[in-house]
Structure 1
Amino acid sequence: MENLTTGAPLKQPIVFKLVGFDVPPGQGPFLFFLALFAYIVVLLGNGVVICVIMKDRNLHRPMFVMICHLVVCDLLGATAVLPRLMMHFLMGQQKISYLPAIAQGFCVHTYGVAMQTILGVMAYDRFVAVCEPLRYHSIMTSTRLHCCCALAWIVALLLIAVLFSFHMNVPLCGRVLQHVYCSNRIIMNQACIPTPISNIYGLSMTWSVSTGMFIIIAFSYVRILRTSFKQGRTDSSIRTKAFQTCTSHLVVYVFYEIATLIIIVSYRFPSASQNMKKFLSILFIIVPPAINPIIYGLVSKELRAGIIRQFAPRTSHKN
């Protein structure tokens, strides 16, 4: 075996040590059940939403189809991280081989990009629904709806595929990943040689996607606000309906951006403990998937009514 200090890449199968949290003695089982509870909340909340939308024909409309895509995205991010984190808490599992590390990083990054692209498509849908209500069904046809949703996923998958293609033929000398889950930056930090192209592409992609989706969402909601206030002068119910329709989408976007911003800010404070930084990075994976079903269930009257329709017959039958 070649020495790591020589800077030469090792020839045996690559196995990383994913450090994870510094768990105090005896706290592993408690943290395991905490992570398990968070995962169950994510699975139940998103599972109920997607099952109700699929079973209730009244909800087979563009907005709810897009919510289903958002649910799939949430489940992808949470499932990529939380099961392995539970193994870390319960059994102290830290070893992860190269391919599973790449797969986890790919899923986490895809979750991050797809969340933004899907929210961008949802903003366009709300823009058409409020600003062009008479032409909505002719514009947002079934074909265009599925093309927009497919495009959101294709853009995310292609961008992340290019990002991880830079891992090919890059020799890795390090084996210790100082994080809770694998990511492109964490893995590329183990490279024996500088990787400026990967760094530049990663930063450019993040900036472009975030800025592009922000512009789309901001433009859509400025137009929505102008249209709803203009129409609301003659009929206040129009303005109220527009706000109710768009509030859930906007709240989901804001919570996602806050979770992302917390991660960025935490790494700008060297004095913060590693456990604190790692905990804040987990919020990006747990908080949006956990609260999104609650937001849509509380704000969307149609979805709330659909949930009641699915469970009410059983209750009345028992009575």
Structure 2
Amino acid sequence: MTDVSNISTLTLQGFNLPPESTLPAFVFATLGYLTILICNIILLITIILNKSLHQPMYLLLLNLPINDLMGSTALLPYIIKELLWDTRTIEFSTCVTQAFFIHMYATGAVFILTAMAYDRYVAICCPMRYNTIMSNMHTVRLISLVWISNILIIVVLFILLLRLPRCRSLVSHTYCDNPSLLQLVCVNTTVNNIYGLMTVAVTQVFTVGLIVFTYIQILIACFRNKRSDTRSKALQTCGTHLIVFLLFECLGLFTLISYRLTDISPHLRKFSGVASMIFAPTMNPIIYGLKTKEIRVKAVTFIHKRIYTS
């Protein structure tokens, strides 16, 4: 096959929507992106501007809206542009940049949620030692570990990808990611496949295992508590967090696995891929942020002040 590595323009597969569905899809995508921007920016500003929230739990939470804004901005503006102008072409450099930040978002989300689960485990199961364990220095180390690990994993993934020549220019997805870019390659991709599967397996076993362990320990500690209101509140909180996390995990893993299953409908893969990028950034600031009383009170106060002063 002909080497087309010098061709800088790629073609996305697109959604292939009927004309009557294009406008509703555009409105939905635009409103979804605006909702993600507003909710996450409010959460971000609220934590940054209130010194009373500069505690380990909220400092870890601060990374979630940053990550969600990065992921949604890497994807949704391009989808909105495609729906508005019916354009499916994208520069190769832009495609790689989009794929890089989408993978950064996906890996970062799991790492950040794992760090947050660890913090809650220490707070509930080791309350007397919480301030000692979750010191400011330890919190900074934990946040640094999350981002450095994330960056290293994704940088190596894309170094392995960019060394390979391309012989195709049609991206078999609605947006760019590592599996769809690998399908453009015309040489053996065994090394890339092994590294990708290895990183997914290791990170999933570690993060999912740690999250499940911490929430089990939290639930055990809550059931030992004799106050029924404390138990019900903990069950509701843990249950909601786990449902959001598991849905994100299932959608993301299904999207990755669907590339290796030829019988999977491409429309289903497109839906799961886009849903995983919209669902979590929309729900995270509500579930993990605005449902927390301290953040909700500070956010409402901030909004009232902005409205009053304007």
Considering the TM-score relative to the shorter chain, is it more than 0.5? yes
The count of corresponding residues between Structure 1 and Structure 2 is 310
Match of 1:3 in 2: none
| 1:202 alignment partner, one of 192, 196, 199 | 196
Provide closer, same or farther for how the CA distance between residues 67 and 247 of structure 1 changes in structure 2, counting only shifts above 3 A: farther
Instruction: Find the aligned partners of 2:5 and 2:181 in 1 and give their Cα distance.
Output: 17
1:129 and 2:123 are equivalent in the alignment: yes
1:149 and 2:143 are equivalent in the alignment: yes
| 1:245/1:300 contact within 8 Å kept | no
Instruction: Find the aligned partners of 1:9 and 1:21 in 2 and give their Cα distance.
Output: 27
1:260 and 2:268 are equivalent in the alignment: no
Moved more, 297-306 or 15-24: 297-306
Match of 1:309 in 2: 301
Moved more, 99-108 or 235-244: 235-244
Q: For 1:1-319, list aligned pairs within 5 A.
A: 7-10=1-4, 12-25=6-19, 27-230=21-224, 232-233=225-226, 239=231, 242-243=234-235, 246=238, 249-263=241-255, 273-297=265-289, 299-313=291-305
Q: TM-score, normalised by structure 2?
A: 0.90
CA-to-partner distance for each residue in 1:4-61, whole Å, 9 max, x for gaps? xxx1313633321112210323543442222111100100111111111112222222
| 2:4/2:169 contact within 8 Å kept | no
CA apart distance, 1:172: 0.5
CA-to-partner distance for each residue in 1:168-210, whole Å, 9 max, x for gaps? 3311001100101111111111111120110111111111111
CA apart distance, 1:73: 0.9
Instruction: Find the aligned partners of 1:71 and 1:63 in 2 and give their Cα distance.
Output: 14
Instruction: Find the aligned partners of 2:221 and 2:263 in 1 and give their Cα distance.
Output: 48
CA apart distance, 1:109: 0.8
The aligned amino acid for 1:53 is: I
| 2:4/2:168 contact within 8 Å kept | no
CA apart distance, 1:242: 4.9
Instruction: Find the aligned partners of 1:160 and 1:264 in 2 and give their Cα distance.
Output: 15
| 1:127/1:223 contact within 8 Å kept | yes
CA apart distance, 1:245: 6.3
Instruction: Find the aligned partners of 2:170 and 2:257 in 1 and give their Cα distance.
Output: 24
Instruction: Find the aligned partners of 1:298 and 1:244 in 2 and give their Cα distance.
Output: 15
CA-to-partner distance for each residue in 1:42-85, whole Å, 9 max, x for gaps? 00111111111112222222111112101111111111110011
| 1:123/1:249 contact within 8 Å kept | no
Aligned-residue identity in percent: 33
Instruction: Find the aligned partners of 2:106 and 2:308 in 1 and give their Cα distance.
Output: 42
Instruction: Find the aligned partners of 1:12 and 1:270 in 2 and give their Cα distance.
Output: 29
| 1:248/1:299 contact within 8 Å kept | no
The aligned amino acid for 1:78 is: S
CA-to-partner distance for each residue in 1:119-169, whole Å, 9 max, x for gaps? 111111111111111111111111111110111111111111111111233
Instruction: Find the aligned partners of 2:81 and 2:197 in 1 and give their Cα distance.
Output: 31
| 2:9/2:91 contact within 8 Å kept | yes
- Between Structure 1 and Structure 2, whose CA radius of gyration is higher? 1
Moved more, 19-28 or 38-47: 19-28
Instruction: Find the aligned partners of 1:303 and 1:160 in 2 and give their Cα distance.
Output: 32
Instruction: Find the aligned partners of 2:158 and 2:306 in 1 and give their Cα distance.
Output: 49
| 1:16/1:98 contact within 8 Å kept | yes
CA RMSD of the aligned region, Å?
2.5
